[in-house]
Amino acid sequence: MARSALLNVMVQAAMKAGRSLSRDFGEVQNLQVSMKGPGDYVSQADRKAEDILFTELSKARPGYAFLMEERGAIKGDDDQHRWIVDPLDGTTNFLHGIPIFSISIALERQGQIVAAVIYNPAMDELYTTERGGGAFMNDRRLRVAGRSKLTDCVIGCGVPHLGRGHHGNFLVELRNVMAEVSGVRRMGSAALDLAYVAAGRMDGFWETGLSAWDIAAGLLLIREAGGFVSDMDGGQDMLEAGSVVAGNEVIQRALLKAVKKPLSAR
């Protein structure tokens, strides 16, 4: 598969950061048995991966702005372009030695996401997309799943936890969705969740309380795989709202309706 120069830059950066995360993931697995656990080590791994991405991307495209999880917003001379980067999405999995984590890079041009890469180094799965050019995993073209009934669907979600999110609201959403689908999954990396929807592995996904770097890349991947995305109000402000509901055209609509169903309607 021939990639554009831009996508090549993004893939090279993701692979380099991925090699660093892979090395550290090996070590994390050894540290599980220590009483202190691998907490500090993982923060370092996260920062190291972000350093690599920052260095590689700024070298290849000087002046582009950044929004990164650890560094925050960094202004650039070029006000048309912004990288939105999560160097390690799925930190809790990484910390526990679960090989479901990813690097997520999106490029925004004039406020529109135009290219994206999501890489899971533990499984060597590389998701790439450019606006108008389709979505790929390694060299395979992606298409969202074609199921049209929620009852046949496996749906992914995010579960709030200690100190995060609105637990009561989530329980209502889950209660609504689980009553209508054939399975619910919680993978622990929002970027990969969206990639799995793009790949047709999961039929849909919803989560709230997210940050732009969790979802920017996955949103384009899903659209380019023929899927649909909205925020929890059915609008297109996913990055600002930090929420997403995804699926094919029919399932996205049905899932949004299920998620939003008030308790009294049951």
172 token code pair:
């209502």
Q: Is residue 86 near ligand IPD by the rule CB under 6 A?
A: yes
* Minimum CB distance to ligand IPD, residue 210 (Å): 5
For ligand IPD, which residue of 18, 156, 188, 247 counts as binding (CB under 6 A)? Answer: 188
Minimum separation from the CB atom of position 160 to ligand IPD (A): 8
Which residue of 203, 214, 224, 231 would you call a contact of Ca ion, by CB under 5 A?
A: 214
Contact call for residue 89 and ligand IPD (CB under 6 A): yes
The DSSP letter of residue 70 is: T
Kindly identify the residues of this chain, within the stretch 33-92, that bind Ca ion according to CB under 5 A: 69, 86, 88-89
Torsion of CA 76, 216, 53, 188, to 10 degrees: 150
Residues 197-256 that bind ligand IPD (CB under 6 A): 207, 209-210, 214
The answer to whether 207 contacts Ca ion (rule: CB under 5 A) is no
- Using a 10 angstrom Cβ sphere, with 0-12 exposed, 13-18 middle and 19 or more buried, the burial of residue 229 is buried
> Strand 64-68 relative to strand 78-89: parallel, antiparallel, unpaired?
parallel
Nearest of 214, 202, 186 to residue 147 by alpha carbon: 202
Rounded to whole angstroms, what are the CA distances from 212 to 35, 84, 171, 203?
Answer: 34, 7, 24, 22
Among 120, 128, 129, 189, binds ligand IPD (CB under 6 A): 189
Using CB under 6 A, which residues numbered 91 to 110 contact ligand IPD?
91
Q: How many whole angstroms separate alpha carbon 141 and alpha carbon 152?
A: 23
Answer for the pair 193, 202: CB distance below 8 angstroms, yes or no.
yes
Residue 205 or 248 with smaller CB distance to Ca ion:
205
Q: Are 250 and 145 in contact (CB under 8 A)?
A: no
Identify which range of 122-130, 131-139, 182-190, 231-239 contacts ligand IPD by CB under 6 A: 182-190
Question: Measured from the CB atom, is 4 or 92 closer to ligand IPD?
Answer: 92
120 binds, among ligand IPD, Ca ion, none (CB under 5 to 8 A by kind): none
Task: Give the footprint of ligand IPD on this chain (CB under 6 A).
Answer: 86, 88-91, 158, 188-190, 207, 209-210, 214
